[in-house]
Chains A and B, each alone.
Chain A
Amino acid sequence: SQTIHQWPATLVQPVGSPLSLECTVEGTSNPNLYWYRQAAGRGLQLLFYSVGIGQISSEVPQNLSASRPQDRQFILSSKKLLLSDSGFYLCAWTRQGGNEQFFGPGTRLTVL
């Protein structure tokens, strides 16, 4: 069976510090991968998606970046965090051409 992992589960970081969130998928190959952010009380905002290693599409301009160094690994990064980067970050995957999107448990980031 397939599983998706995210870590850390929670993170408190000062403004201006770097960020690295990791997402890995097990039990499948060549998945589409996604990063979403959800601000408190708001809907999900698609940040990045990837259809293959090294292939990243950005949905919104921001100080975040994403990378896919391996087939089932998706990393969200920032060189300098802003207060507005606080939120609930969700990683998700789909099969190529699949109908269902599977979400990870999320990382709750608080920038102080």
Chain B
Amino acid sequence: DAKTTQPTSMDCAEGRAANLPCNHSTISGNEYVYWYRQIHSQGPQYIIHGLKNNETNEMASLIITEDRKSSTLILPHATLRDTAVYYCIVRVAAGSWGKFQFGAGTQVVVTP
């Protein structure tokens, strides 16, 4: 599975959009981009995933560049409860052997 690079930390003002970048320059054609977040002392929570098209759900939007070498997770209106570590992961979607390799992630702090 391809490795990802994320900033160590970022701050965001409450109510503003939070844009979290992720680089995955060695991504393969059959690998998806996943985003998870982990609130302190809890297990990670799935946010969104995509292959090459932009995706949106009730939590966030995922923008993947045309060359698929990077992506951005967008939290449209950050709240204090969005303070968490956000993980960007790439992996093959199908196959029973699929593993999720979590890196260090980005610590996002939403401030009032």
Q: Which residues of A contact B (CB under 8 A)?
A: 32, 34, 36, 42-46, 49, 51-52, 57, 59, 88, 90, 92, 94, 96-97, 99-106, 108
Q: State whether A105 touches B102 (Cβ < 8 A).
A: no
Per DSSP, chain B at the interface is loop
> B49 at interface (Cβ–Cβ under 8 A)?
yes
Residues in chain B near residue A52, CB distance under 8 A? 96
Q: Which of A46, A57, A96 contacts B102 (CB 8 A)?
A: A46
B interface bracket (residues with beta carbon within 8 Å of A) = 20 to 34
The answer on a CB contact under 8 Å between B101 and A101 is no
Is A43 a contact partner of B100 (Cβ separation < 8 A)? Answer: no
CB pair A99 B93 closer than 8 Å: yes
Chain A, interface SS category: strand
Contacts of A36 in B (CB 8 A): 102
- Are A103 and B102 touching (Cβ within 8 A)? no
From A100, which residue of chain B is reached at the shortest CB distance? B46
Most interface-central of B49, B95, B97, B102 (chain A CB within 10 A): B102
Measured in the bound complex, the distance between the Cα atoms of B98 and A37 in whole Å is: 18
Residues in B with CB closer than 8 Å to A90 are: 43-44
A81–B91 alpha-carbon span in the complex (Å): 32
Q: List the A side residues contacting B98 at CB < 8 Å.
A: 32, 94, 97
Provide the bound-state CA to CA distance between A59 and B36, in Å. Answer: 21
User: Would you list the 4 A-B pairs with minimal beta carbon distance, nearest first?
Assistant: A103-B43, A44-B102, A51-B96, A43-B104
Minimum Cβ distance to chain B for residue A33 (Å) = 11
